[in-house]
Structure 1
């Protein structure tokens, strides 16, 4: 008869067991990354809403001047990058839960490509707005 102390696995915590699982380690890191992008984008989203409320009645020239300030440009770029990365990870979790095989691979490619393209388009738009001279 075996004693429970003969098996060190029994003494491990659930987290310890989870860390030992190969694919599960990736899941834990993915979960942490999702939380970090959410935490990072929350204050940026609040900042963005406040700024848009302040600029609600502004003309084009004022908005371009606002976007041309380095602090605003960096914060806008950070918000877009974090938001699209968070969106990609969230959609990836959904597809891993509800699709299998070839469909999952195709959906993953569409999600990664689509979020990259939309994120790149957003970054280019912000840079174009920030670097454009304000019209008189």
Structure 2
């Protein structure tokens, strides 16, 4: 089996049967952040803890990205194989908004308020043959 690595340690639980996003919460003012931060962006205290943000959120806003992303989000796509894709802000329980790639089914149009589920997928293969795993969101299965 090919080894799988998270694109960046601490973004989501991995490996996991039911992965969840990871963030931080300030122990002083309870402000939550994604990705996890050592310093609180609201009160400036340096006393945060790692929390799980869950695996289901609500689409807050979205757009279509029509250009290839830059590092570290370069995929195995080439300019010839690149296809535009949906990008949105997903509001997680507790109010943290996470920017993410959206997985859309053929003909599916996202809509604000849409329930979305976290999905971890192979994003690219590195020079050592390891699959680099990245999070995205897809329409929730009711």
Q: Into which bin does the TM-score normalised by the smaller protein fall?
A: under 0.3
Larger Rg: 1
Higher normalized helix content (fraction of residues): 1
Higher normalized strand content (fraction of residues): 2
